[in-house]
Structure 1
Amino acid sequence: MSKFAKLKEVVAATEADVEKFYNGGNSAAGTRVRKALQEIKGLAQEIRTEITEKKNAAK
């Protein structure tokens, strides 16, 4: 569950940079968003693996 909380934190922290990139035209913010999305991708994969392991252990 802590990984999901971390995922939500990263998404929330990235929101300002998304706003700067799309509405302000700030290219550096776009780079930060891409980096955050890569981190989100990794966290999502870890959560998926954890869920699969827990599901299979219950069988």
Structure 2
Amino acid sequence: MKRFNEIKDLVMSLEADFEKFYEKGNNAAGTRVRKGMQELKNLAQDIRVEVQDKKNQG
């Protein structure tokens, strides 16, 4: 569950930058959103591998 909470925290931390980018057109916020989404992708991949390993163990 620790990993799931990491994902939730990451998504919530990006909320303000999403608003700044989509509603105000702030390009710097868009860069932060892209960086955060890349981190989310990497975290999700790590979780997928962890789940698969755990599944295969037993």
Same fold (TM over 0.5): yes
Matching residue of 1:22: 22
Matching residue of 2:35: 35
Aligned residues: 58
Task: Return the alpha-carbon distance in structure 1 between the equivalents of residues 42 and 27 of structure 2.
Answer: 23
Matching residue of 2:52: 52
Calculate the aligned-residue CA RMSD, in Å: 0.6
Matching residue of 2:2: 2
Q: Which has the higher contact order (CA 8 A, sep 6+)?
A: 1
- Provide the TM-score with structure 2 as the length reference: 0.95
> CA deviation digits over 1:8-59, x for unaligned, max 9?
100010011001100010000000000000100010001000100111111x
Structure 1 unaligned regions, length at least 5: none
Percent of matched pairs sharing the same residue: 57
